[in-house]
């Protein structure tokens, strides 16, 4: 039965649409069958006035603010072919967040989280090695972590007596094989150090010290020689260039770590120790006792770290995650991603527009009853900015995407130049390719639910690509007559449209070489 989504003046305050059965025919397929109608543009509704920030964690409107608010309403999916440490750094610098994937060994995910947290910040926890460590050990640590500087302390103690510094410029992995760090490091007397009582934890003072130094990294030490933390000059430049970056109280980039419901008792402590800002319980079907167990463990053991729960596609699923599991935000969507084959395999899924419609109505009812607003993340099915606008107009607070980000430089995969234009590989987390690591660790793998070998066009660096997308998103919000995402929720009108009417049609398009 086809349907039309229309504005309903009697709806709850944050709902701006209802569904009316209209005639027999084919249902619209997720976002592709829908379009957002133009709205009135007042004289003061300029492009610069559009605000695309959005809450990511629950809060009470009028009483407090969300613990974490996105500066741009986009998250990259927790997938092997999408969200590694490079994506985590690049997306947080632009105001969004990446969800580091959990389909990897615990220590490797923790290292990715550390890499994002230590990319910038006023005072960074140092990476340390011992003077007795081998050059082979240091080279392997550099390869695994991506760091090029390691501070040398007594006994490899992160806050031990500072002895020196070793960088990738101080040795050749082959030539100096068999030597120790002590033989290649620069001793502490050659370093430019800052004493802790000169800067305390004052970010402004640390920046002044860094700007006046000739060195790229300044260790902060106590008067007895113990290492406290490190100040990096590059972080000052980064902050000037990325004014919408998403950072914590210590000026470190924020990052999400995905966890599963299998090894969560070991994985959650590891990513928390690495400095993670949010925990995402990543399941295709989140209405389960397993998710409740995982959420309760995380929230009881680490009450200060928000938890994202998902995925669900019904009001009952939303209520379970919020009321029974206590999550801080809810991820909606099942079976609609570009490489998901769950509906074909088992016949269980839901159209994304219906999923968002029902879950956001449950969110609005929860707000009316309790005064608590729980943000909704629309997960999957986003192929373009057009889809983002529709998802947000339907009531979502942010979107999570995989394919949209998979073709960027920052995704973990290699560019294949054999194709014209070049492409990057993309595969599903439910595919055998992603699940192979689980089988080695005793997981039960019944059948494949994701495409194992797909390709997406290479689109280049994330920053210009996403910057243009956000300008398009702002234009869409403005032309809908709105100023904010909350305004879309309250005022946007969404209706059905045929596939033939979307995009250029009935003409021959000349392709540029």
Environment class of 222 (CB within 10 Å of its CB; exposed 0-12, middle 13-18, buried 19+):
middle
Conformation bin of residue 484: beta by default, left when phi > 0, alpha when psi is -120 to 50: beta
Q: Which of 93, 267, 325, 340 is catalytic?
A: 340
Q: Which pair of structure tokens corresponds to residue 87?
A: 């994506």
Q: What's the N-to-C CA distance of the chain in angstroms?
A: 43
State yes or no: cis peptide before 311, omega within 30 of 0.
Answer: yes
Dihedral, CA of residue 475, residue 68, residue 352 and residue 446, to nearest 10: 140
Q: Would residue 438 show up in a list of annotated catalytic residues for this protein?
A: yes
User: Could you tell me how far CA 447 lies from the centroid of its own chain?
Assistant: 28
Distance CA 245, CA 36 (A): 29
Per-residue confidence (pLDDT) for residue 4, from 0 to 100 = 39
Task: Mention every residue, 6+ apart, whose C-beta is less than 8 A from residue 56.
Answer: 66, 68, 69, 70, 97, 278, 306, 308, 328, 329, 375, 377, 397, 398
428, 450 contact by CB (below 8 A): yes
Strands 2-6 and 18-23 turn out to be antiparallel
> pLDDT tens digit string along 333-353?
986 665 665 666 677 768 889
**Helix, strand, coil shares of the chain as percentages rounded to 5?**
35, 20, 45
Q: Would residue 383 show up in a list of annotated catalytic residues for this protein?
A: no
Q: CA angle, 317 as apex, 300 and 297 as ends, to 5°?
A: 15
DSSP track, 236-283: HHHHHH-TT--B-TTSPBP-EEEE-SSSHHHHHHHHHHTT-SEEEEE-
- Name the 3-class secondary structure at 184: helix
173, 191 contact by CB (below 8 A): no
402, 427 contact by CB (below 8 A): no
Per-residue confidence (pLDDT) for residue 3, from 0 to 100 = 30
Q: Up-side HSE of residue 94: CA atoms within 13 Å toward CB?
A: 26
Per-residue confidence (pLDDT) for residue 203, from 0 to 100 = 58
Per-residue confidence (pLDDT) for residue 211, from 0 to 100 = 65
> pLDDT tens digit string along 420-461?
999 999 988 766 665 555 554 445 556 555 556 789 999 999
Distance CA 414, CA 113 (A): 21
477, 487 contact by CB (below 8 A): yes
Q: Which pair of structure tokens corresponds to residue 43?
A: 């004289």
State yes or no: cis peptide before 421, omega within 30 of 0.
Answer: yes
Distance CA 172, CA 375 (A): 50
85, 271 contact by CB (below 8 A): no
The helix (H) or strand (E) run that includes residue 391 is helix 385-393
Residue numbers in the chain where pLDDT is lower than 50 = 1-4, 7-29, 440-442, 505-508
Per-residue confidence (pLDDT) for residue 230, from 0 to 100 = 85
Distance CA 112, CA 83 (A): 10
Distance CA 145, CA 129 (A): 13
Q: What are phi and psi of 445, to 5 degrees?
A: -115, 110
Which domains does the chain possess? 2-119+253-501 (3.20.20.70), 128-232 (3.10.580.10)
Per-residue confidence (pLDDT) for residue 20, from 0 to 100 = 33
Distance CA 200, CA 70 (A): 30
Strands 97-100 and 256-259 turn out to be parallel
């Amino acid at each position: 039965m086809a349907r039309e989504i229309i504005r309903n003046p009697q709806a709850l305050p944050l709902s701006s649409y209802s569904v009316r059965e209209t005639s027999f025919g084919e249902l619209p397929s997720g976002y592709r069958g829908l379009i957002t109608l133009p709205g009135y543009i007042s004289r003061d509704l300029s492009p610069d006035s559009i605000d695309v920030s959005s809450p990511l964690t629950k809060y009470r409107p009028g009483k407090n603010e969300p613990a974490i608010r996105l500066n741009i309403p986009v998250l990259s999916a927790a997938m092997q072919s999408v969200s590694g440490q490079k994506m985590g750094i690049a997306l947080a610098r632009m105001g969004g967040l990446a969800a580091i994937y959990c389909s990897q060994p615990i220590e490797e995910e923790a290292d990715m989280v550390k890499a994002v947290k230590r990319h910038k910040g006023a005072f960074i926890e140092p990476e340390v090695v011992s003077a007795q460590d081998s050059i082979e050990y240091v080279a392997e640590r550099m390869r695994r972590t991506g760091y090029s500087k390691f501070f040398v302390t007594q006994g490899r103690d992160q806050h031990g007596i500072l002895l020196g510094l070793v960088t990738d410029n101080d040795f050749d992995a082959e030539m100096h094989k068999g030597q120790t760090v002590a033989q290649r490091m620069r001793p502490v007397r050659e370093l430019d150090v800052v004493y802790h009582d000169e800067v305390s934890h004052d970010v402004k003072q640390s920046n002044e010290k860094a700007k006046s130094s000739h060195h790229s990294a300044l260790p902060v030490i106590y008067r007895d020689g113990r290492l406290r933390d490190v100040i990096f000059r590059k972080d000052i430049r980064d902050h000037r260039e990325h004014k919408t970056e998403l950072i914590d109280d210590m000026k470190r980039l924020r990052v999400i770590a995905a966890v599963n419901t299998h090894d969560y008792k070991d994985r959650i402590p590891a990513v928390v120790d690495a400095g993670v800002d949010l925990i995402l319980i990543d399941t295709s079907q989140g209405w389960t006792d397993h998710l409740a167990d995982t959420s309760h463990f995380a929230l009881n053991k680490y009450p200060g770290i928000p938890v994202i729960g998902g995925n669900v596609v019904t009001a009952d699923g939303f209520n379970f995650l919020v009321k029974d599991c206590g999550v801080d935000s809810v991820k909606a969507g099942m079976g609609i991603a570009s490489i998901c084959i769950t509906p074909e395999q088992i016949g269980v899924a839901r159209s994304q527009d219906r999923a968002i419609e029902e879950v956001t109505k449950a969110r609005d009812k929860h707000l009316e009853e309790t005064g608590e607003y729980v943000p909704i993340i629309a997960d999957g099915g986003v192929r373009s900015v057009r889809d983002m606008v529709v998802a947000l107009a339907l009531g979502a607070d942010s979107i999570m995407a995989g394919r949209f980000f998979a073709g960027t430089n920052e995704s973990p995969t290699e560019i294949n130049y054999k194709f014209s234009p070049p492409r990057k590989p993309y595969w599903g987390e439910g595919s055998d390719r992603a699940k192979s690591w689980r089988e080695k660790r005793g997981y039960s793998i019944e059948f494949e639910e994701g495409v194992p070998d797909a390709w997406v066009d290479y689109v280049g660096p994330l920053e210009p690509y996403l910057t243009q997308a956000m300008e398009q998103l702002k234009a869409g919000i403005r032309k809908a007559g709105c100023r904010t995402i909350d305004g879309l929720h309250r005022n946007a009108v969404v209706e059905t449209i045929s596939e033939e009417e979307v995009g250029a049609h009935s003409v021959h398009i000349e392709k540029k070489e």
